[in-house]
Every structure is written in structure tokens, then in C-alpha cells.
Amino acid sequence: MSEGPGWVLPVDKPEGPTSHDVVARARRALGTRRVGHTGTLDPFASGLLLLCVERATRLAEYLTGLDKRYEATAVLGVSTDTDDREGAVTAETDAWRRLSGADVEEALRALEGEQEQVPPQYSAKKVAGEAMHRRARRGEQVRLEPVRVRVHELLPLEMDLPRVRFSVHCSSGTYVRAIARDLGAALGVGGHLVALRRTAVGAFRVEQAVPAHDLDDGAAVARARLSPLEAVAHLPRVELDDPAVADRLRQGQRVRWSEWPGDGSVAIVSEGGLLAIGALEDGVLRPRKVLA
């Protein structure tokens, strides 16, 4: 199904398969090896994966850093070594019975904002070039440095203590498992994550996605897929109307450009499509990733 500069496909991953399993299924269904995802979901989690297909795999770095939205459920009073339901129980208490809904809401509010978050021991975070989950499974305990993240919004959706369902709007790189862990720690009872669904990546919502089991359905895929230009709609645009300038950029050459204030990554558009991702620096437009 190769087509020009490729495309981006929002997929709704079910619980169970890994993100790599979904990529493998997409490769078979779409008839191409050039498929990659832009942000891992744990096997027990479901929700939105953005798959980059063919030449659009070159856009992955501009999608990975987008904000994420989730709906999640934590259980208070039980801690696990993975901070989720997949791990072994490390501590358990019924002290959650003294908690009120107001206590939980206050603790959730306190976890909003910019913060230093310690990644889970069982995570894809790399230490000395190796993913932490591999080292943790060998019994190693490594002191992980906290990572700067931002939790824009953390809202309670439903409480049936010790279960707490909540929504999260956060920066890329935020571990929702760690939020469940830190919520339990703040309340003095421990906690872990038992359900997670990613509902949005940037402006893209899971309702737009094709279910993973429908990847063989050509019509469903065609309805869901995004053009490269649609996929990077969050980037500022430089519109070209001079074919000679477009040809120079297509060949990897830089051009003088004075019509755009400021510096940073831009989507370079020619003839209604995405020609390249470029960088505008000191009045010079440099192509970084040429698609067309």
C-alpha cells in the first residue's frame, strides 16, 4: 500500500498485545516493512497508537513529543514492584479505609504541574544503554534519576475506594504508573495502576482511530489515515509558491527566507502537500526531512 510520501495511521490498540505486536500486524496487513509507532503502550494498556507508514516514518520524532491524554484506574492500599497490575505485590494495607473522596481529590491536585518524576523500575527507561525492565527482571535495583515532566490536568472520574478512576493530560515521557504509585504514597497507603487507556496524542483522538483488528479492512484504514501534512498540523507552516524554491529544498539545499518571524521547526508546504520538515534559523530555511 505504498503511496508517495507515506501517511500516518491512528490505531486503537486493545489490551494484551504489545505495541510491537500491533506494528507487526500493520506491516502484514499493509504490505510494507516500513511501519513504526510514536510512543509505546504497555501490553495491559489500550488506546491510541500513531503508526507512521512508508516515508512518513521520518515524521516520528515530530509526533513522539506531543502531549498525551489517558483514562486510568488505580487501586490504593496495594503496591507492586512494577507499579501496575502485572507485578508482584510488595506491600498491602487496609489503611485506605480511613480515606475520604476529598482526601483523594486533594492528593490528585497536588500531583498536577511541573515536577521531577522517578520512572518505574520496570520501564523502557535506559540506564547504561539497557532498558530498566531488563535489569529489573535480573533482580537489579538501580537508582533512577527523576525526569522533568508536566501533568497539565489530573481529574477524578469515579471513586469506589480503594479504586480510583481518573483522567490525565500530561507531557510526553510521563509515566501514569508512577502517578498511581505517587498518589498512593502521598496518601500513605501505597497504590498501583490496574487499567490504562490512551485517549489522545496531541490533537488526535482515539475515536478517529481504526481498531487494530480492522487493519485488514482497506476501507476502514482509508477512512482513518492521515496525510503527512495533517499529521504535523501542530507545526508552523511555510507555504511555497515558487517551484524553483521548492526544487532547491527538495534537493536538500537551503534558501534565504525572511517571511517568517522566529526560529524552529516548520512544515514546508508546496502544491498543497508536505514537501519537508525544515528549520528556520537566522533567515535561512534548511530542509531536515524531505518527504516529497
CA–CA–CA angle 14, 15, 21 (5° rounding):
70
Rounded Cα–Cα distance for residues 198 and 52 (Å): 18
* Catalytic choice (12, 21, 42, 182): 42
Positive or negative, the CA dihedral 120, 124, 126, 130 is positive
Phi, psi for residue 111 in degrees, rounded to 5: -90, 0
Are residues 266 and 277 in contact, defined by beta-carbon separation less than 8 angstroms?
yes
Q: How far is CA 115 from the centre of its chain?
A: 18
Instruction: Kindly tell me the burial class for residue 248, based on how many C-beta atoms sit within 10 Å of its own C-beta (0-12, 13-18, 19 or more).
Output: middle
Residue 48 buriedness (CB in 10 A; 0-12 / 13-18 / 19+): buried
Are 155 and 130 in contact, with CB atoms under 8 Å apart?
no
Q: Kindly tell me the sign of the dihedral angle through the C-alpha atoms of 126, 142, 19, 10.
A: negative
The vertex-227 CA angle with 42 and 29, nearest 5°, equals: 55
- Please list, in sequence order, all residues whose beta carbon lies within 8 angstroms of the beta carbon of residue 103, skipping any fewer than 6 positions away: 187
Catalytic (active site) residue 84: no
Residue numbers annotated as active site: 42
